[in-house]
């Protein structure tokens, strides 16, 4: 490929990352084209600069290609700046919801080094191993459903703290149709496990092979298994936080809002499936189109109905409503930290805004919401500037929440 063509492609990808096309149908290609460029903007910037420098040293110079390279470099620099804004945006959200003194309630305040961009780690963002973390793989929480009933447990390599560690349960995304427990949430789980948490990553049954509500039933089975078994791995069965992105964000929110719902707990109706806090990322909160947006109705009619619920909205609207977290909010909802990208083209940010507004109106508990500038869907799959900042913001929130919980239980002084 010629220098000019490379720069045309880079410029188009950069422009899409900066301002992706909205809408249900263009949203998928806009995401596919913009996600990696947005999260790997420093890498693409370095390659663009290197390519332009090598071209300038050559025998012939293409002015159009160099102009495009300059424009791409400016756009990529803007993407890097947007990603770096997440540190301040997330902190503002935490202070707004928890109070300016919430850092005083942590075991230790974050240092400047804790908050800085971990550039060395980001050089190779796809290297996911961490020597500080031990992983026990393929533990069965439901042997009857084979590999979809397996989970992995992440814990500190040097052992968990005395008294039982707080527990995080991770639910992968993938449009309720694809995905695996070792593909998502890794940066957050490794970060927390290295700091003393026990993290559980689960598989669950997928469509179209399995019909709704098998997906959320499995999430609840995994919660029940965790409460019954996590003490053997050093976790505290009384404290479970739950997180996940996209379809996982939907399942996280729905499971957190429906503890003990017999329709989602067939055969284990009496099991405790409550969680203390939920942290959904870029989740789908409106299966029924109740928010009235065109995007929610298109998702319902063009994807959820034929692929997940396998029935039309007109045939059984109650099934869609029951599966909508925004319609299951009660005053007893647990604490939430909702995270969404401002430029998400797969699940428009309006869903998160509506969900948070309803939570704040109805729930008696804390609701934190942070909207990430320039962020597409799936921004946290691998380490990046943006995901590193949001991982550490979630760390601060969850440690604040864990300490609040222990104070309420009389297990922590102050």
pLDDT (tens place) for every residue of the chain, 414 residues total:
799 999 999 999 999 999 998 888 899 999 999 999 999 999 999 999 999 999 999 888 899 999 999 999 999 999 999 999 999 999 999 999 999 999 999 999 999 988 899 998 899 998 888 999 999 999 999 999 999 999 999 999 998 877 799 999 999 999 999 999 999 999 999 999 999 999 999 999 999 999 999 999 999 999 999 999 999 999 999 999 999 999 999 999 999 999 999 999 999 999 999 999 999 999 999 999 999 999 999 999 999 999 999 999 999 999 999 999 999 999 999 999 999 999 999 999 999 999 999 999 999 999 999 999 999 999 999 999 999 999 999 999 999 999 999 998 887 765
0.85 exceeded by the pTM?
A: yes
Compute the distance between CA of residue 391 and CA of residue 389 in angstroms, rounded to an integer. 5
Compute the distance between CA of residue 375 and CA of residue 355 in angstroms, rounded to an integer. 19
Query: What pLDDT shows up at residue 403?
Result: 96
Alpha-carbon distance values, 18 to 77, 236, 338, 342 (Å): 11, 43, 23, 11
Compute the distance between CA of residue 355 and CA of residue 376 in angstroms, rounded to an integer. 19
What tokens appear for 109 in the block? 């305040």
Query: What pLDDT shows up at residue 413?
Result: 62
Catalytically annotated residues: 246, 344, 377
Query: What pLDDT shows up at residue 59?
Result: 86
Query: What pLDDT shows up at residue 149?
Result: 98
Query: What pLDDT shows up at residue 290?
Result: 97
Give me the sheet containing 150-156, strands edge to edge: 133-140, 150-156, 198-202, 165-171, 235-245, 277-281, 335-341, 367-372
Query: What pLDDT shows up at residue 114?
Result: 87
Give 201's Cβ-side CA count (13 Å radius). 25
């Amino acid at each position: 490929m010629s220098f000019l063509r490379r720069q045309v492609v880079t410029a188009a990808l950069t422009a899409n990352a900066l301002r992706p096309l909205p809408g249900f149908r263009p949203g998928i290609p806009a995401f596919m084209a913009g996600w990696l460029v947005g999260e790997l903007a420093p890498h693409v910037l370095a390659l663009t600069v290197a390519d332009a420098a090598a071209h300038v040293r050559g025998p012939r110079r293409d002015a159009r290609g160099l102009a495009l390279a300059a424009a791409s470099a400016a756009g990529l620099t803007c993407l890097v700046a947007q990603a770096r804004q997440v540190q301040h945006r997330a902190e503002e959200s935490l202070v707004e919801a928890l109070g300016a003194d919430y850092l005083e309630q942590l075991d230790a305040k974050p240092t400047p080094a804790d908050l800085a961009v971990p550039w060395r780690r980001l050089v190779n963002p796809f290297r996911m191993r961490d020597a500080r973390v031990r992983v026990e793989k393929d533990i069965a929480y439901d042997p009857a459903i084979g590999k979809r009933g397996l989970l992995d447990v992440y814990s500190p390599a040097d052992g968990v703290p005395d008294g039982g560690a707080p527990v995080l349960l991770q639910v992968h995304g993938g449009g309720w149709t694809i995905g695996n427990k070792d593909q998502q949430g890794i940066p957050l789980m490794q970060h927390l496990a290295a700091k003393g948490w026990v993290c559980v990553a689960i598989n669950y049954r997928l469509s179209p092979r399995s019909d709704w509500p098998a997906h959320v039933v499995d999430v609840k089975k995994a919660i029940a298994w965790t409460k019954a078994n996590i003490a053997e791995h050093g976790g505290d069965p009384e404290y479970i936080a739950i997180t996940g992105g996209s379809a996982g964000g939907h399942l996280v929110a729905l499971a957190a809002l429906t503890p003990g719902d017999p329709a989602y707990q067939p055969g284990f109706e009496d099991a405790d499936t409550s969680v203390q806090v939920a942290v959904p990322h870029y989740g789908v909160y409106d299966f029924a189109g109740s928010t009235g947006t065109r995007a929610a109705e298109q998702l319902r009619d063009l994807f959820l109905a034929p692929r997940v619920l396998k029935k039309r909205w007109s045939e059984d609207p109650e099934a869609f409503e029951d599966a909508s977290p925004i319609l299951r909010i009660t005053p007893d909802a647990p604490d939430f930290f909702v995270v969404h990208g401002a430029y998400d083209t797969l699940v428009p940010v309006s869903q998160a805004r509506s969900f948070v507004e309803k939570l704040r109106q109805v729930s008696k508990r804390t609701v934190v919401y942070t909207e990430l500038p320039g962020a597409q869907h799936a921004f946290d799959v691998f380490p990046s500037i943006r995901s590193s900042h949001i991982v550490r913001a979630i760390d601060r929130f969850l440690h604040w929440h864990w300490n609040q919980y222990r104070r309420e239980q009389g297990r922590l002084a102050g």
